[in-house]
Each structure stands twice: as C-alpha cells, then as structure tokens.
Chains A and B, each alone.
Chain A
C-alpha cells in the first residue's frame, strides 16, 4: 500500500543512548517532515526536508539530527536521548505545491527512562 512507513513502532531507551528513527515514503513526494506529539500539545515540527539534499530546522530541533538519504527516505537521529524526548514521533510527506495534505506514518512511540 502506498504511504509512509516508520520503524520502529515502539522503543524504550535509557538516558544517554542513541537511536535512529527510520521513515520511507513511496509516493514520490519531494517534501518530508518529522514531528513530535505530546499530550495536550499540537504536533511540533522538529526538522523538514523540502527536497532531496536539503534539510532545515523546525520549531524544536535541539537534541535531534536528520538525514535525507534519498528522495524516499528521511531519518531522525537522537544522539544522546533524554527523558524530555519521550514522545510520539511522526514522519510525514507532501507535494511541494500548496493544496495537498500531508501523508503521515503511523508513528513511533519512544520512551526514555
């Protein structure tokens, strides 16, 4: 099925550990995004990639890095996890042209202890 695939779905990390969240889309979209969602708060943009080869910071980039590996894949890395990074992470993709909604993955639930 066409869409956005995220792995893993669940992860528990100890403080200070590192990990990479993977995201891939098969809709040939140019733009990809990483959001985090916390209770009572809206989705907050961490990083985005308007096109292959470019990445930019969003609203809450501290503690994260990203890589746009190719047009399909956009990964999010936590170098040294902190309890404040406990959240649900969503990857999304879209066409550059206005008027198209975002397509989201099913999310990664991350707990840092």
Chain B
C-alpha cells in the first residue's frame, strides 16, 4: 500500500534557527506534494504545493524541496519564530490527498 511518513518526534528549535521537516513516501512519485499547518483544535491550513517537476518552492520564510529519487520532500522554516509553533502535515496526491501524521514544531524564544 502507499505510505507517506513524517517524523513523529516533536522538533524543538530555538527562535531564529531553521527548522527542517522530512516527508517520505513509498512507491510511485505523486504528481505533487502539499504542506499544511495545523494548530491545536483547528483544521489544517494550506501552505505550499510543489509539483514533481519542480525541485524547490519558496513562500516568504518557507521553502519546500521535492526529490523524486529519494522519494522525499523537505520543508524548511527559516528564521523561525514562536508563532511558527504548530504541527505541519505533508500530503501527496493519490487521486485524492493522502496525509502524513504530521510533525510538531516547538519554537522557543
């Protein structure tokens, strides 16, 4: 079966540093990967989408890469701030979106 996996351990990071999250998938490469942010008690919020023919995508302090050889996407938050603390979900297209379980990021001042 198709799997999409994220690191289940929370990522604790100091304010101002870069947070890097990993998303790995199995079997065929999806047409695109998406990244979402989820705050406690709220629904996920769409952040970025990257297509399989794109190596890198940026939006403000966020950067996403897509490596079809490694079957992996990396999500970077540069100059992290306490307000970036949340759970980040990756999702791949498989007809419909298939989501990973998410990685919690905690940014401390």
Chain A nearest CB from B43 CB (Å) reads 3
Q: Across the interface, do B96 and A33 meet the contact criterion of CB distance under 8 Å?
A: yes
Of residues 28 through 54 on chain A, the ones whose CB sits less than 8 Å from some CB of chain B are 33, 35, 40-45, 48
Q: Across the interface, do B96 and A104 meet the contact criterion of CB distance under 8 Å?
A: no
Q: Across the interface, do B101 and A41 meet the contact criterion of CB distance under 8 Å?
A: yes
Q: Across the interface, do A40 and B101 meet the contact criterion of CB distance under 8 Å?
A: yes
Contact with B along A36-80 (1 / 0, CB 8 A): 000011111100100000000010000000000000000000000
Contact with B along A80-111 (1 / 0, CB 8 A): 00000000001010000011111111110000
Chain B nearest CB from A20 CB (Å) reads 19
Q: Across the interface, do B49 and A102 meet the contact criterion of CB distance under 8 Å?
A: no
Contact with B along A5-37 (1 / 0, CB 8 A): 000000000000000000000000000010100
Measured between alpha carbons, how far is A44 from B100 in the docked complex, in Å?
9
Q: Across the interface, do A42 and B49 meet the contact criterion of CB distance under 8 Å?
A: no
Measured between alpha carbons, how far is A42 from B36 in the docked complex, in Å?
12
Count chain A residues whose beta carbon lies closer than 8 angstroms to a beta carbon of B. 23
CB contact under 8 A between A45 and B43, given known A99-B32, A99-B49, A101-B49: no
Chain B nearest CB from A94 CB (Å) reads 8
Of residues 41 through 83 on chain B, the ones whose CB sits less than 8 Å from some CB of chain A are 41-47, 49, 51
Q: Across the interface, do A90 and B34 meet the contact criterion of CB distance under 8 Å?
A: no
